[in-house]
């Protein structure tokens, strides 16, 4: 169900990009430009997502000899999940976080900060690694990269719409056959970037719940990840990983996850809700084992 929801949201995001092209440029030409931009952005995200994200966080590759315990954990969980072992990276700094990236399981990477390795117990760290591997299995790294790129393109088009509106104010044509639609310009300038952000955030939150559940099943220990999330929530409020905000959906924890209406603009669900779902899943798994 979550996969269908995510596909629908991505389609809506792409349609929004095409629609903005129509309103800014006008007519069929605008639709074609929107489609071309969506295709180029999606292709670029698909191929370069891992390199861009790792560079943004200054992640450094780590060999099995440099971090034997961490690598063995990653290798064991990857074998259990029946996927190739991703490349392992470490992000310098004491902020506690982790992320996965890559266009598919054959080109994936898992990155952890120095802070998270020092903060968590073995069971907790295993839960975090399993969470990131689930993102890889579900190809969430690609989904989130595509969503972020399209949302960024929509914001750039909205910026272009501002310049188009200035041109119309100084004598430009408002005829749809020769120029942009003035009402469409207003929508593109103010509502489209907001809608794109809301859709992107919804996609991210949906994938986090799914990755939590996958990690619980992969480790057979939902409480390990629940305990890790509790510690990471406190740590993220004290010290966050510094990078481009566009990459925040990749992280396992975000200190700005809110409740109520503010949660609509958060890349992650409230941590307490994630913990509650994991503990509920633990009860379900226990009941099945006892049956």
In 3D space, the residue among 235, 229, 232, 238 whose CA is nearest the CA of residue 211 turns out to be 229
> Among the options 124, 126, 132, 210, which is catalytic?
132
3-state secondary structure 97-162: CEEEECCCHHHCEEEEEHHHHHHCCHHHHHHHHHHHHHHHHCCHHHHHHHHHHHHHHHHHHHHHHH
Cα separation, 204 vs 193, in Å, equals 17
The verdict on whether 114 is a catalytic residue reads no
Tokens of 149: 């790129």
Whole-angstrom distance, CA of residue 220 vs CA of residue 246: 32
* Residue 107 marked in a binding site: no
Whether 208 has a binding-site annotation, put simply, is yes
Site of tokens 């994200």: 53
For residues 259 and 257, what is the distance between their CA atoms, to the nearest angstrom?
7
Whether residue 126 is annotated as binding a ligand: the answer is: no
- In this structure, what token pair is assigned to residue 34? 């929107």
Residue list, annotated binding site for Zn(2+): 131, 135, 208
Q: Give me the active site residues, please.
A: 132
């Amino acid at each position: 169900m979550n996969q269908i929801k995510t596909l629908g949201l991505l389609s809506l995001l792409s349609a929004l990009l095409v629609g903005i092209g129509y309103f800014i440029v006008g007519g069929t030409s605008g639709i074609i430009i929107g489609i071309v931009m969506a295709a180029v952005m999606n292709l670029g995200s698909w191929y370069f997502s891992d390199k861009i994200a790792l560079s943004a966080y200054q992640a450094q590759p780590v060999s099995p000899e440099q971090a034997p315990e961490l690598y063995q954990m990653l290798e064991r969980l990857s074998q259990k999940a029946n996927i190739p072992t991703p490349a392992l990276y470490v992000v310098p700094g004491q902020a506690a976080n982790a992320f996965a990236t890559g266009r598919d399981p054959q080109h994936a990477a898992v990155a952890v900060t120095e802070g998270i390795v020092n903060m968590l117990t073995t069971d907790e760290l295993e839960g975090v690694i399993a969470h990131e591997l689930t993102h890889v299995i579900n190809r969430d790294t690609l989904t989130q990269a595509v969503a972020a790129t399209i949302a960024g393109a929509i914001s750039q088009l909205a910026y272009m719409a501002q310049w188009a509106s200035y041109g119309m104010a100084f004598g430009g044509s408002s005829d749809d056959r020769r120029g942009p639609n003035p009402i469409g310009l207003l929508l593109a300038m103010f509502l489209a970037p907001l809608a794109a952000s809301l859709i992107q955030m919804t996609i991210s939150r949906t994938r986090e719940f799914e990755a939590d559940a996958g990690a619980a099943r992969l480790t057979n220990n939902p409480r390990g990840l629940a305990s890790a999330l509790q510690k990471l929530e406190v740590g993220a409020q004290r010290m966050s990983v510094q990078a481009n905000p566009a990459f925040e959906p990749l992280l396992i924890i975000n200190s700005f996850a809110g409740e109520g209406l503010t949660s609509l603009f958060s890349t992650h669900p409230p941590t307490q809700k994630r913990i509650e779902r994991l503990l509920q899943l633990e009860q379900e798994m226990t009941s099945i084992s006892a049956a």
